[in-house]
């Protein structure tokens, strides 16, 4: 495999690649309040990059600074190699799609899509052709003559997308693009968004507070907390190798055990916790001092639950009593109380049907929990 191919779909790993968006030391203050706190970020051409975080963490503020609607208090933003200081929104090579789609209610779908091109004085024939192409791409050709109120939420969302893309921006900034859609439509539209982005090769920067959406859509996710990035990585990296307790708890859920390092080598660590009494064997090193306080994080679906004790497992096992069972059909969630009273959450696929209405593991059962050395991560903060 040539070097180029190797980095094709992961340009952030390519030391030679120039970022399309380069944010350096950007801070935004509103009075004495710091909404975005000295962040650095590189986004590459063709990425579908999600900024994910709870309400008020600063993601919209950062997006607005990329679009040019707000200026950084300090720091710099380069887009496509050019310094964006003093460049107004309409002269930036990016377009922004707002949380509320803000379609013109009195215009038809095609008039809405054509609006920006018309305002820019694009030739009439070219407008017709570009609008037609774009409506075909978002599968709305048959609705060209309808007004926004005659469309479903998902269709309106696609009109807004067509309107933003018809101007052929090099990057599209999307603030909660699927926020107005119900769960089913949202799932379907996520895939449409990915297809369109893939076909056009436009860089998408998406702001969302929905972790599932970020996991499905993104090439990479930046998890934001209080104006800073807690971690930037691929969905797999963020989920499987969270770097902090905040990230581990923000994406999915994680059982957290506090303990101290008793053994640390290049390929494994041993952590001992006293409450609950347990030895954790983890198959990656952390290179911090023995005796240091750490947290061992184990995802609920990585824990096995059984009524009989697992054979020859010295480490990575706990026992407790099932306090709650959440039956979801395809999976069940068990909340197991272990020795010190801590509740450990376990999720299991339901591979066989319950016999005579009785589940294999039920309320008040005493159960054994165990997991593989590769299933846990050690966190230092």
Interacting residues toward ligand ATP by CB under 6 A: 30, 33, 35, 53, 55-61, 209
The least CB distance from residue 35 to ligand ATP, in Å, is 3
Task: Check if the beta carbon of residue 78 is closer than 8 Å to that of residue 84.
Answer: yes
Cα–Cα nearest to 296, from 319, 276, 322:
276
Smaller CB separation from ligand ATP, 153 or 179: 179
Taking CB atoms, the residue at the shortest distance from ligand ATP is 60
With the CA atoms of 88, 91, 94 and 99 taken in that order, what torsion angle do they form, in degrees rounded to the nearest 10?
A: 50
Smaller CB separation from ligand ATP, 57 or 103: 57
Task: Specify the 3-state DSSP secondary structure of 283.
Answer: coil
CA separation for the pair 253, 245 (Å, rounded): 10
Smaller CB separation from ligand ATP, 12 or 98: 98
The least CB distance from residue 61 to ligand ATP, in Å, is 3
Alpha-helical runs (H) found in 22-123: 59-67, 109-119
Distances in whole angstroms, Cα of residue 338 to Cα of each of 132, 261, 270, 319, 326? 62, 21, 20, 6, 18
The least CB distance from residue 227 to ligand ATP, in Å, is 7
Task: Check if the beta carbon of residue 59 is closer than 8 Å to that of residue 224.
Answer: yes
Cα–Cα nearest to 17, from 51, 47, 49, 48:
47
User: What order do you get walking across the sheet with 74-79 strand by strand?
Assistant: 33-43, 21-30, 74-79, 82-83
The least CB distance from residue 39 to ligand ATP, in Å, is 12
The least CB distance from residue 66 to ligand ATP, in Å, is 12
Cα–Cα nearest to 301, from 249, 350, 257, 347:
347
Smaller CB separation from ligand ATP, 71 or 274: 71
The least CB distance from residue 322 to ligand ATP, in Å, is 37
Cα–Cα nearest to 211, from 26, 21, 50, 43:
50
Cα–Cα nearest to 283, from 303, 265, 299, 259:
265
Smaller CB separation from ligand ATP, 34 or 45: 34
The least CB distance from residue 58 to ligand ATP, in Å, is 4
Smaller CB separation from ligand ATP, 39 or 322: 39
Cβ atoms within 10 Å, residue 14: 14
The 8-class DSSP code of residue 145 comes to: T
Smaller CB separation from ligand ATP, 162 or 207: 207
Smaller CB separation from ligand ATP, 59 or 156: 59
The least CB distance from residue 143 to ligand ATP, in Å, is 30
């Amino acid at each position: 495999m040539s070097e180029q191919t190797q980095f094709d779909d992961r340009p952030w790993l390519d030391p030679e690649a120039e970022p399309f968006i380069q944010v350096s030391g950007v801070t935004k203050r509103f009075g004495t309040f710091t909404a975005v706190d000295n962040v650095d970020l590189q986004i590459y051409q063709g990425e579908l990059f999600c900024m994910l975080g709870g309400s008020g963490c600063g993601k919209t503020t950062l997006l607005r600074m990329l679009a040019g609607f707000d200026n950084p208090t300090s720091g710099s933003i380069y887009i496509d190699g050019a310094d964006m200081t003093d460049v107004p929104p309409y002269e930036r090579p990016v377009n922004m799609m707002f949380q509320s789609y803000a379609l013109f209610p009195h215009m038809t779908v095609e008039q809405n899509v054509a609006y920006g091109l018309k305002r820019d004085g694009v030739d009439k024939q070219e407008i017709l052709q570009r609008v037609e192409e774009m409506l075909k791409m978002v599968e709305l050709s048959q609705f060209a003559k309808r007004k926004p109120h005659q469309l479903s939420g998902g269709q309106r969302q696609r009109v807004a997308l067509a309107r933003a893309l018809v101007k052929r921006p090099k990057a599209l900034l999307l603030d909660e693009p699927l926020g107005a859609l119900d769960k089913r439509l949202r799932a379907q539209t996520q895939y449409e968004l990915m297809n369109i982005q893939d076909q056009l090769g436009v860089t998408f920067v998406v702001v969302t507070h929905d972790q599932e959406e970020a996991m499905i859509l993104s090439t990479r996710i930046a998890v934001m907390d209080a104006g800073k990035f807690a971690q930037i990585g691929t969905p797999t990296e963020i989920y499987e190798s969270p770097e902090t307790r905040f990230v581990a708890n923000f994406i999915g859920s994680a059982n957290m055990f506090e303990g101290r390092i008793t053994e640390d080598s290049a390929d494994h660590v041993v952590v001992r916790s006293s409450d609950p009494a347990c030895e954790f064997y983890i198959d990656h090193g952390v290179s911090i001092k023995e005796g240091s306080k750490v947290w061992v994080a184990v995802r609920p679906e990585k824990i096995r639950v059984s009524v009989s004790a697992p054979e020859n497992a010295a480490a990575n096992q706990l026992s407790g009593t099932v306090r709650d069972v959440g039956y979801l059909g395809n999976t069940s969630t068990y909340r197991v109380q272990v020795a010190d009273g801590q509740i450990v959450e376990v999720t299991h696929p339901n591979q066989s049907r319950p016999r005579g209405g009785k589940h294999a593991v039920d309320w008040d059962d005493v159960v054994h929990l165990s997991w593989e050395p590769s299933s846990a991560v050690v966190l230092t903060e």
